[in-house]
Amino acid sequence: MEQAAFHFVLRGNPLMCTDFGHGNINYTFLVTTDAGYQYILQRINKHVFKNPDKLMQNVIAVSEHIRSKESGAHNSLHFVQTDEGTYYYTDEMNRFWRCYEFVGGLCLEAPESDMDFYESAVAFGRFQEQLADFPADTLHETIPNFHNTPERFKALHNAVEEDACDRVKNVQQELNYLFSKEEEAGTIQRLLEAGSIPLRVTHNDTKLNNVLLDPKTRKALCVLDLDTVMPGSSLFDFGDSVRFGAATAEEDTQELSQMELDLNLFEMYVKGYLNACHSLSKREVELLPEGAITITLELASRFMTDYLEGDHYFKTQYPDHNLVRARAQIKLAQDMDKKRYRMQEIVNKYIEG
């Protein structure tokens, strides 16, 4: 890692290189130079990201577009070129490295107040607004069909048919529910394919820990971790934030009675998101509740698929972990369905306002 740092054009010479952060995918280090500047050096996990060159093309294109609209040093990531004029370095072991300027700030794993959640909505709404005029179809689809919900349900059908681990008999009730919602869950994808809603740049990991906050004001500065930036629907980004951040329990809770949608948090997110993003079409705004329900059903189907196939994709802590996750997401989707009318009322209030 020390040698990789010397291949980037830094201000000063690398003096220290230490582990940084708690990421589970890439290997991240903090580099300090003898001129007092700090940088983030990352080795991209090529087992997860099979085409890191395409990933970086997406990241650089999106970052530069945001930087062209933002003057503040803390409002976007600034990637550093190598001594060969590229934005990544491949070492003699074919490992893939990148580097960007360190941006100081606060990242939270969970909101410490409702306003933290509101600011995450502002950050992702602003992200969507900044990229409203970016040609999303020029981005690489680095994870094909990532939020293609009908394809996710096809995978579930295949897992049921193969029943590789003889587990289907344990989950008939859950499968009946998911398949009863399959047609509805494919609505957004069909609208996207028909051109009824626009193709947009999407972040695809819209959790609070990917938002940088000002440590003093707690205002959102910028969005981090652009590795999963791809073309898609804004409804999936919005929906995943709500699914994760406005739920009243952890996504793998075994106490299903505790899993509900907090409508107050939902409203806070809607308000922050729409205050920052004014470029969504009327149809997109109307479908915001559908985005939350769809992404919750999609994730439930993915957890269930992995459970039936033998837990190959998601990390698990115990044998039925994926089943527990699937049941929690099903319970959340059911509660969202019950509250659909109220969710729509909340959205309509901010459309009219």
Helix, strand, coil share (%) of the chain residues, nearest 5: 50, 15, 40
Q: How far apart are CA 338 and CA 256, in angstroms?
A: 16
Q: What residue spans define the domains of the chain? A: 2-101, 114-352
**The architecture CATH gives domain 114-352:** Alpha-Beta Complex (3.90)
Q: How far apart are CA 26 and CA 47, in angstroms?
A: 10
Q: What are phi and psi of 229, to 5 degrees?
A: -65, 125
280: Cβ–Cβ under 8 A, 6 or more apart, which residues?
Answer: 128, 234, 274
Class of domain 2-101: alpha beta
Mean pLDDT, rounded, for 45-59: 88
Using the predicted structure, report yes or no on whether residue 73 has a pLDDT greater than 60. no
Tokens of 217: 């004001």
pTM (2 d.p.): 0.89
The residue type at 149: T
Using the predicted structure, report yes or no on whether residue 10 has a pLDDT greater than 80. yes
**Would you state the pLDDT for residue 143?**
87
**Would you state the pLDDT for residue 104?**
82
Using the predicted structure, report yes or no on whether residue 61 has a pLDDT greater than 90. yes
pLDDT confidence bin for 319, thresholds 50/70/90? very high
The residue among 172, 161, 188 whose CA lies nearest residue 287 is 188
Alpha helix positions (H), the chain:
2-5, 52-67, 114-130, 149-162, 172-180, 182-185, 187-194, 234-245, 263-276, 282-286, 288-309, 321-338, 340-352
pLDDT tens per residue, range 277-314: 999 999 999 999 999 999 999 999 999 999 999 999 88
pLDDT confidence bin for 47, thresholds 50/70/90? confident
